[in-house]
Amino acid sequence: MAGWPWWLQAALIFIAARLVSAAIFVAAAIHQGTNPWFPPAPDYWNFITIWDGRWYQQAAENGYPSVLPVDQNGVVKENAWAFYALFPFLGRGLSAITGLGTLQSLTLIAMVAGLCAALVVYRLFREVAGRRTAMWGVVFVSTFPISPILQVPYAESLNILLLAGSLLLVVRRKYLAAIPVVVLMCFSRPTGVPFAAMLGILFLWRLWQRFGPRRSTDANLADSNGRLPSLAALLVVTGIAALAWPVIAWAATGDPAAYTKTETAWRGDSLVPFKPWFDTGRMLFGPVLGVLAPFVFTGLFVLAMISRPVRALGTELRLWCASYMGYLLVFLHPQTSTFRMLLPLFPLALGAAMLSKSKAYRGTVVVMFLLLQIVWVVWLWAWAPLPGGGDYPP
């Protein structure tokens, strides 16, 4: 494949990975027992439309509630406001144009967006790596244990496409051109806040390089500093777009905390920054080690960020990964869905590819990723009730 066009290579890699994931889904579906959505042993197309896919379908077909549903204690229940509007809006539009069912339209959009994301991810990786290493980065992204989510009716593939496009334009310092892409990204999934944080830090860093005591005379940097007004404009627009969805939920329901209450309905607790990590740590490791666990996790992530392969990713991609992980540490309730929430850290796949050029190393990573796909699909995607009630969401 080395002599083939880059876009064909990346597309075939992604398609091959999705066929492997489809085989895993089919095998798991055969063993799917009684569940809330359909009879046991469903076919592939039914099996991949469960979980949040049904919420996106509801948002596409029925819109968003003007009154938040509450239980007998007045606590907000799970509802469609947790799911950003771009993906269901596109599904509704495609369904109206083609006559396809909503879930079929959402699935088609997710698959096409995932394929396009693979192409954009390659172009992004080529900004900081050679052709072969960048292609291996695409292989790692396409086979990552959570990558089956890129072919189901979830908004992840659309978000990765828009996120990769936004990062590519920022790396190329085309800040004004990035504005519409970033706005769309902010309406696909809640990645706007960490993206705004990344841009804010980048803006301060450029200011320091421009006006600090040790000004650089590098011509490329001078060109970047000349675009500070454009970067500032992108930062302001991103900040506004990142807060737009909670504001829309407020305007539609009359409740200023409509979005936050809806998001926390799944965790059964109010939003307190950082606290869920310590709660989960104590649950998993006990009262002492559980308190230390979040600090150990953070320390390991910092070590990864200062490692040689990750430093080679460049300022923008490293800032994005640090900002997004910081966002998760502040707001995320760690549980089984956390694995899926790590997908926007996909630039680290390139760092993994840069770690070694050994074919044995890279091949082993792919094999381990594929095996872990089986674990993820069978353990988390296939539905099974827990002994005390509830389930483990993917």
Alpha helix locations (H) across the chain? 6-30, 44-47, 52-62, 86-98, 102-126, 131-143, 156-171, 175-186, 192-211, 219-225, 228-253, 258-265, 275-285, 289-305, 308-311, 315-331, 338-341, 347-355, 359-376
- Cβ burial of 184 (10 Å; 0-12, 13-18, 19+) is middle
Q: What length is written for the chain? A: 394
Confidence of residue 210 (pLDDT cuts 50, 70, 90): confident
Confidence of residue 379 (pLDDT cuts 50, 70, 90): very high
Is residue 27's pLDDT more than 60?
yes
Place of tokens 């389930």: 391
Domain map of the chain by residue range?
6-70+78-253+347-381
CA distances from 310 to 109, 129, 191, 204 (A): 32, 12, 21, 21
CA distances from 296 to 7, 277, 278, 292 (A): 40, 12, 12, 6
Q: What is the mean pLDDT of residues 215-224?
A: 57
Confidence of residue 223 (pLDDT cuts 50, 70, 90): low
Minimum mean pLDDT range among 33-37, 181-185, 208-212, 366-370:
208-212
Confidence of residue 238 (pLDDT cuts 50, 70, 90): very high
Q: What is the mean pLDDT of residues 238-261?
A: 96
Q: What is the mean pLDDT of residues 158-185?
A: 98
- Residue-averaged pLDDT of the chain: 94
Confidence of residue 209 (pLDDT cuts 50, 70, 90): confident
